[in-house]
Chain A
């Protein structure tokens, strides 16, 4: 990493290359074989088989495996004992195993599907690089580059590798994706700084060359580049658990705990009641099966992937299924400004001429045609300057596209001016052709102005027109007159004052202001043939006529203010974190509502009360604009204080590291933080965030890799949609779980009562599986389709420590209230069926041992009738069916209860999911009608 200090010849020696001839193809191939292609290694993927096996043992699967193994063990014992019907247990074990495997395959399939979406997304268009090899210039795919290659870059190219420059002309690079600096940095061949990151003679991989040309030696490729190291750092941060994963884990622990403790407790009771160990084991399996909601994990996966699909339609691509819910629990969004909140495109926002400020149309589609008065002759003059003093051009062949969408060659402000003029005046190219340019001085940082001289389009007027634009104060210095209503008036101090006021006002809105002036050169001094020389400036550049100001801003997207206010009402704090200037940041924050109209910063209060900033009570200020420089000197406590005390915060001029600090600060407050970002430099923050959101259009691959979600349209409003979907899925999962848990009690009670009251078995293990995996699946999934309740975006985000997916209330309500009711209902059915067949409830109590005795074939019922063992078993199976039907019918009622949490059922619409009711009914009828099921 000392390459920036070496001289050209030393570099040639080090890399065995020649500046003029480049590497030989053979040598390049050798190095390529040694170093590998010049591309970032994608994050290491877990082998498919491991993913698959994880699905097989995760969650409840382990419990079910235990159940299956127990079944097989008891089958083995029974077989060895030569018992009569050992195969029941074999089948039960097989069914349990099949359930686990099918659920596993299903979950795996769902996950694979969402991964595939991402895989297709990450395919990049191969980048080209101009390389000198074998003394010839060649276009090569950038991943073929090797260390020592000589590459040429020009404005607009992406730097294909880390390059030590050996020749540069007016070269500037945009390092924003690496360092977050928004200003282009100039590059030369000189060693300027010890730190390779600061020195001017190195250009970094994945940054963009904005202008100029350069030639350099490739010194690092692929993962060894600076950006590669950052990217691998980010991918090194392991993916940690999402809130929903934690919730589900919590739920699994809870259910498994209940299942195992009840199971073991009753196993002990059963054994101490002198039941056979084998029977007790079967009984234990029954309890486990009854307690574990087998279908639930599949349901959760389906629900999440349905939501993910729905979100993809709304331009939110979810990489990680569980991230869907994370977004719903988000309580702070740290949003980038450029591109997310704004259109990422300079647009003319205001004009100042005739001593008056006019607003221009900044909307995306330029709907309002004439937003300001265009009758003034001053406007005609101004528009001419705007049109002529501009080097930007449309790329040809875009005549059919809307003006705003056309690609322009030129820098951001010139592009804005060009589009502005094109919209209002029509064909700019034609106007320029009619006003032939005779001389031009492009903008440079010392002059701070741009000048050009044109022939006029009026054939009678032989004067030349000199037009100039630039930094307003510099332009004003060169002017002696000012145009008011088309007339030149002397620029006195009063008019200069007016200019200053307008300039301050526009600047105060965070806008970039340009001044425009012109001068008609007198015909006698500057005849047709006058040789204009831009180097010696043989023409006047002072005593010009000031025409007006134009100010530009990157305007907010039209959907953003609404989205921000939605976030507000949803209790989500939106924090702007940007690398931009505080003034611009604050202006945008105000215009989108991140800082609301009524709230003030400490500085605002100080200004209003006319007291020093230090005397202001910081608690009074709801808003805060924090500069990156201040942030640098702050302790963590101070940061926490700011995050706590102000509801509206803008961080301006922040570096990527500070972004990370801010995210951590928010997380210390216990918030679930969403971060948006697009650059490589954002990727650590994206990883650190609870949910990282990358921009699909502007985002770099590293950002997309680090993120959990990708906004395909780069639009902040999509996040709000995502939040809504996330909350919806949480609500609906809660409903699903409540629905699923309820019947567990009704399934569990039979086993307990069976042991305690010694009644014939009310329901069989396989029948339970029929409910869990058959009749209940579709209604649970249907609940995931449930529409949002009216208040979904008006309540605060859930507190991840308190608002659990399965909390005490839900469990208690499901288990101890609704569940008990269901059990009571099912038992009434059970007793009724037995009573109608001859066994009154009083007879059933304590009857189990005799009932199950194969040697008793004249078992007497309450009416004196006698039953053989098989006849009793048949009756017992009828009882299973009755219990089963009873549970499914009560589950329909349960479904109606669970449809809403807060709304009344009539608000929500009772029969919106009619098919699920019908399905449930058809299922249970189906099971009753076909007698073969009775043998289960």
Chain B
């Protein structure tokens, strides 16, 4: 077989390249005449304008066809996730630790909680109505102003000892810290099948070991009148109901693993892939300082 490409020296290559970029004899710029390039650019311009137009049209018709109140499919969102405040994440998820005697270690946590609760002050909640019934607050019509639906009021005082009103430090210096548990919103999700779902915290792996916890509101329930959620557009002022847990006898200087589950029909907490779906965990270690680790709904304590 004979060779097809002769070896060229570097300078020849450079010369060839220069000639390719601008050939003075044929007046070719990169192998084409300038007018040719203009035409090509125009063609591509037109082509891409049309393509962008098509894309825009597709997206536009997509936006026109989606329901503004609720998504067409919710198959990826069957069970709500559960989150915790304060939310300090370490390598392995939520990890909260602090030193009881060193206020620098817990001030940040307290501030997080306070900031979080500002959305639940009466002022912030003034648009919402007071609900008293213990059943689902089903609204088929738009009763609120501007074609919206009504939302029930949830104010921080409902969290009593953990509201930050009576105890602005949320029990952190005393070693009886408060944590606020929040369930993720899912449109038209009806948890508990008629009975209010409640939070239940236990040690991980050793459920029989007693864990002294105070739940606020009483029993750690999410009242049914906060459900269902009708979406951002229908309920612009909706705020998630909360449950606060106060751990009363945290062993200090021991890493604790605590799980807090939300118990109620329709809420699953056994998805092995998702540590944040429907549950909470804690680890505890006792020392002079208090450490609290948490992994999503899993807390790891070290007191």
The answer to whether A874 and B184 touch across the interface, beta carbons within 8 angstroms, is no
* CA–CA, A836 and B235, complex, Å: 20
In the complex, identify which listed stretch (B101-109, B140-148, B241-249, B268-276) lies at the interface while the others stay far away.
Answer: B268-276
The answer to whether B59 and A837 touch across the interface, beta carbons within 8 angstroms, is no
24 A-B pairs whose Cβ atoms sit less than 8 Å apart in the complex: A83-B91, A240-B1, A240-B2, A246-B4, A800-B4, A820-B51, A831-B59, A831-B62, A835-B62, A835-B63, A837-B72, A838-B77, A840-B63, A854-B93, A860-B185, A862-B71, A863-B69, A863-B70, A863-B233, A866-B184, A868-B184, A868-B277, A869-B274, A871-B274
B5 contacts partner chain A, Cβ-Cβ < 8 Å: yes
A821 contacts partner chain B, Cβ-Cβ < 8 Å: yes
| Given A820-B51, A837-B76; A708-B81 close (CB under 8 Å) | no
The answer to whether B184 and A867 touch across the interface, beta carbons within 8 angstroms, is yes
Which chain B residues border A688 with CB–CB below 8 Å? 2
The answer to whether B276 and A869 touch across the interface, beta carbons within 8 angstroms, is yes
Which chain A residues border B184 with CB–CB below 8 Å? 857-858, 865-868
B55 contacts partner chain A, Cβ-Cβ < 8 Å: yes
Which chain A residues border B187 with CB–CB below 8 Å? 863-865
Q: Identify which of B71, B186, B271, B276 contacts A836 (C-beta below 8 A).
A: B71
The answer to whether A858 and B182 touch across the interface, beta carbons within 8 angstroms, is yes
| Given A246-B4, A667-B2; A866-B185 close (CB under 8 Å) | yes
* CA–CA, A934 and B254, complex, Å: 40
* CA–CA, A866 and B187, complex, Å: 9
* CA–CA, A690 and B51, complex, Å: 45
Number of A-B contacts (CB under 8 A): 144
Which chain B residues border A821 with CB–CB below 8 Å? 51
A181 contacts partner chain B, Cβ-Cβ < 8 Å: no
| Given A837-B71, A870-B277; A878-B4 close (CB under 8 Å) | no
Which chain B residues border A841 with CB–CB below 8 Å? 59, 62-63
Q: How many whole Å from A299's CB to the nearest CB in chain B?
A: 23
* CA–CA, A44 and B297, complex, Å: 71
Q: Identify which of B2, B73, B89 contacts A689 (C-beta below 8 A).
A: B2
The answer to whether A824 and B1 touch across the interface, beta carbons within 8 angstroms, is no
Q: How many whole Å from A331's CB to the nearest CB in chain B?
A: 13
The answer to whether B2 and A866 touch across the interface, beta carbons within 8 angstroms, is no
The answer to whether B59 and A865 touch across the interface, beta carbons within 8 angstroms, is no
A82 contacts partner chain B, Cβ-Cβ < 8 Å: yes
Interface digits, A844-876 against B, CB 8 Å rule (1 contact, 0 not)? Answer: 000000000011011011111111111100110
The answer to whether A863 and B71 touch across the interface, beta carbons within 8 angstroms, is yes
Contact residues of B between 41 and 98, Cβ < 8 Å to A: 44, 47-48, 51, 54-55, 58-59, 62-63, 66, 69-74, 76-77, 80-83, 87, 89, 91-93
Determine the residue in chain B with the shortest Cβ distance to A842. B63
B231 contacts partner chain A, Cβ-Cβ < 8 Å: yes
Q: Identify which of B1, B51, B66 contacts A708 (C-beta below 8 A).
A: B1
B156 contacts partner chain A, Cβ-Cβ < 8 Å: no
Determine the residue in chain B with the shortest Cβ distance to A861. B71
Determine the residue in chain B with the shortest Cβ distance to A853. B89
Contact residues of B between 1 and 56, Cβ < 8 Å to A: 1-5, 44, 47-48, 51, 54-55
* CA–CA, A875 and B81, complex, Å: 14
The answer to whether B66 and A836 touch across the interface, beta carbons within 8 angstroms, is yes
Q: How many whole Å from A808's CB to the nearest CB in chain B?
A: 8
Query: Assuming A673-B2, A865-B187, what are 4 further A-B pairs, CB within 8 angstroms?
Result: A828-B55, A864-B233, A865-B71, A865-B74
B238 contacts partner chain A, Cβ-Cβ < 8 Å: yes
Interface digits, A422-454 against B, CB 8 Å rule (1 contact, 0 not)? Answer: 000000000000000000000000000000000
Which residues on B are within 8 Å of A, measured CB to CB? Answer: 1-5, 44, 47-48, 51, 54-55, 58-59, 62-63, 66, 69-74, 76-77, 80-83, 87, 89, 91-93, 182, 184-187, 229, 231-233, 235, 238, 271, 273-277, 296
Interface digits, A675-715 against B, CB 8 Å rule (1 contact, 0 not)? Answer: 00000000000011111100000000000000010000000
Q: How many whole Å from B26's CB to the nearest CB in chain A?
A: 15
Q: How many whole Å from B295's CB to the nearest CB in chain A?
A: 10
Which chain B residues border A816 with CB–CB below 8 Å? 44
Which chain A residues border B182 with CB–CB below 8 Å? 858
The answer to whether B62 and A241 touch across the interface, beta carbons within 8 angstroms, is no
A243 contacts partner chain B, Cβ-Cβ < 8 Å: yes
Q: Identify which of A241, A820, A840 contacts B66 (C-beta below 8 A).
A: A840
Interface digits, A319-348 against B, CB 8 Å rule (1 contact, 0 not)? Answer: 010010010000000000000000000000
Which residue among A242, A688, A690, A863 has the maximum number of chain B CB atoms within 10 Å of its CB? Answer: A863
Which chain B residues border A400 with CB–CB below 8 Å? none
Which chain A residues border B2 with CB–CB below 8 Å? 240, 667, 673, 688-690
The answer to whether B54 and A824 touch across the interface, beta carbons within 8 angstroms, is yes
Determine the residue in chain B with the shortest Cβ distance to A238. B1
The answer to whether A863 and B231 touch across the interface, beta carbons within 8 angstroms, is yes
Contact residues of A between 651 and 667, Cβ < 8 Å to B: 667
The answer to whether B83 and A858 touch across the interface, beta carbons within 8 angstroms, is yes
The answer to whether B232 and A863 touch across the interface, beta carbons within 8 angstroms, is yes
Q: How many whole Å from A864's CB to the nearest CB in chain B?
A: 3
Q: Identify which of A323, A832, A840, A864 contacts B238 (C-beta below 8 A).
A: A864
Which chain A residues border B51 with CB–CB below 8 Å? 820-821, 824
The answer to whether A866 and B91 touch across the interface, beta carbons within 8 angstroms, is no
The answer to whether B76 and A878 touch across the interface, beta carbons within 8 angstroms, is yes
User: What's the tally of chain A residues with a CB closer than 8 Å to chain B?
Assistant: 56
| Given A242-B1, A863-B71, A866-B185; A828-B277 close (CB under 8 Å) | no
* CA–CA, A837 and B44, complex, Å: 35
A817 contacts partner chain B, Cβ-Cβ < 8 Å: yes
Which chain B residues border A835 with CB–CB below 8 Å? 62-63, 66, 71
Interface digits, A637-673 against B, CB 8 Å rule (1 contact, 0 not)? Answer: 0000000000000000000000000000001000001
The answer to whether B276 and A246 touch across the interface, beta carbons within 8 angstroms, is no
A529 contacts partner chain B, Cβ-Cβ < 8 Å: no
Q: Identify which of B4, B58, B87 contacts A241 (C-beta below 8 A).
A: B4
Q: How many whole Å from B56's CB to the nearest CB in chain A?
A: 10
| Given A817-B47, A838-B71, A863-B187; A824-B55 close (CB under 8 Å) | yes
* CA–CA, A860 and B231, complex, Å: 11
| Given A836-B72, A874-B76; A857-B232 close (CB under 8 Å) | no
* CA–CA, A866 and B71, complex, Å: 13
Q: How many whole Å from A557's CB to the nearest CB in chain B?
A: 27
Which chain B residues border A884 with CB–CB below 8 Å? none
Q: Please provide the 10 A-B residue pairs with the shortest distance between their CB atoms, ordered closest to farther.
A: A864-B232, A868-B81, A866-B184, A870-B274, A855-B89, A838-B71, A868-B276, A836-B72, A857-B276, A828-B58
A827 contacts partner chain B, Cβ-Cβ < 8 Å: yes
Which residue among B1, B55, B184, B231 has the maximum number of chain A CB atoms within 10 Å of its CB? Answer: B1
Which residue among B47, B48, B77 has the maximum number of chain A CB atoms within 10 Å of its CB? Answer: B77
Q: How many whole Å from A838's CB to the nearest CB in chain B?
A: 4
* CA–CA, A83 and B93, complex, Å: 11
Which chain A residues border B71 with CB–CB below 8 Å? 835-838, 861-863, 865
A615 contacts partner chain B, Cβ-Cβ < 8 Å: no
Determine the residue in chain B with the shortest Cβ distance to A691. B1
Which chain B residues border A689 with CB–CB below 8 Å? 1-2
* CA–CA, A871 and B229, complex, Å: 19
* CA–CA, A865 and B74, complex, Å: 10
Determine the residue in chain A with the shortest Cβ distance to B40. A812
Which residue among B5, B73, B76 has the maximum number of chain A CB atoms within 10 Å of its CB? Answer: B76
Q: Identify which of A240, A854, A867, A870 contacts B89 (C-beta below 8 A).
A: A854
The answer to whether B55 and A870 touch across the interface, beta carbons within 8 angstroms, is no
Determine the residue in chain A with the shortest Cβ distance to B44. A816
Q: How many whole Å from B80's CB to the nearest CB in chain A?
A: 7
* CA–CA, A691 and B83, complex, Å: 72
Determine the residue in chain B with the shortest Cβ distance to A827. B55
The answer to whether B4 and A243 touch across the interface, beta carbons within 8 angstroms, is yes
* CA–CA, A855 and B233, complex, Å: 26
Determine the residue in chain A with the shortest Cβ distance to B182. A858
Q: How many whole Å from B115's CB to the nearest CB in chain A?
A: 15
Which chain B residues border A241 with CB–CB below 8 Å? 1, 3-4
Which chain B residues border A867 with CB–CB below 8 Å? 77, 81, 184
Q: How many whole Å from A935's CB to the nearest CB in chain B?
A: 9
Determine the residue in chain B with the shortest Cβ distance to A667. B2
* CA–CA, A878 and B76, complex, Å: 9
